[in-house]
Amino acid sequence: MPLTARWIYALVAAACAALLSYALYTEYFDGLNPCPLCMTQRGFYVLAGLTGLAAALINPGRKGRYLASGLVALFCAGGAAVAGRQVWLQSLPADQVPACGPSLEYMFANLPFGEAFRTLMMGDGNCAEVVWTLFGLSMPNWSLICFVVLAGAAIIAALPWVKR
């Protein structure tokens, strides 16, 4: 069976679901509390996964594939930017790491939305802590890699020679 755009979108959706499932597993079973940047990355995985799922179910024509692939790539670019920021925070010397901020719930309950969102996107000391690694790479490193791979898959799905 040839690899079609529909299958690529389904794989993007499945990969996002698997990544989100693992994030929830590490939170609820391994006790790793997600920082604000981690939560933001999860949001981008949800958006990319739902777009991939919709494209897999609808199986759009060429213009629809451009739109779906563009949206998945856009969401992945947003997620990669957030993951990249977290990787940067983790690479800072301890004396240059920003102070730990308020919890996500507190920010959205007590700050205006714009200020809460701006604070969320900046990250804090909690985001700089490395609590999990695999092959020497932290979770944000892996997240950055996954966002790039998912964006690449979406772009491939939009190529004209890939069948519907």
| Model confidence pLDDT, tens digit, residues 26-66 | 989 988 888 888 888 999 999 999 999 999 999 988 899 99
User: Is the pLDDT score of 121 beyond 70?
Assistant: no
Say what the pTM is: 0.83
% residues pLDDT > 90 (the chain): 51
CB 153 within 8 A of CB 69: no
CA 72 – CA 149 distance, rounded (Å): 11
CA 83 – CA 30 distance, rounded (Å): 21
Domains annotated for the chain, with CATH where assigned, are 5-92+104-158 (1.20.1550.10)
User: Is the pLDDT score of 151 beyond 90?
Assistant: yes
User: Is the pLDDT score of 13 beyond 60?
Assistant: yes
